[in-house]
Amino acid sequence: MLVSLHTPYVDTCAADLSLALGGPERPALHVRDLTLPGDVRLRLRLLGASHQVVLAEPGGAAGLTETVACLPGRPPHLPGALHDEAGGYRFTASVLRPTDGELHTRIAGLRADLADDPYALVGVFPGDPDAVTALAVRTDLPHGSVGWRTWHAYPQTNELVLTETVVALR
């Protein structure tokens, strides 16, 4: 699902992002609720130039809340990897600084690939078609796990933040 947002793009950069697990749902610009096979529910939330994913496991059991955003009162830190084997949570992040024109090409391709994806949410901010935050649920994982990928494009600093999360269901 491609959404044209009316809220101006948050002027930030990848270095300002943090990862938080747990916590409340934050004010969102757009929300997409999905029910996956096995009654797994995901709520994809666009938070300006950031995202939040809320997972509820089968039967409504509390899952987790993942937020990647500029979080008040929290120093910016986006780990390259966080693996909690006991909790079944795996997160990776990378920051790319594409060559001239490559960011535009990548974002145009991403928008085309995810525009009609029933398991995706793409927010395009006014003023720059490359100012995008996108989330897509992975449908290629084995039974018993759920995952998603996100893209945060910052054309003002020529940065593209990629994250990937996989959660083992209980």
Question: By three-state DSSP, how is residue 159 classified?
Answer: strand
Structure confidence by residue, pLDDT tens digits, 71-97: 877 888 899 999 999 889 999 999 999
Which sequence spans correspond to the domains of the chain? Answer: 2-168
Helix (H, G, I), strand (E, B) or coil at 15: helix
Instruction: Tell me the per-residue pLDDT of 15-63, one tens digit each, with 9 for 90 and over.
Output: 689 999 998 888 898 999 999 888 889 999 998 778 999 998 766 656 7
Planar angle of CA 50, 39, 151, nearest 5 degrees: 20
Helix (H) or strand (E) holding 136: strand 132-138
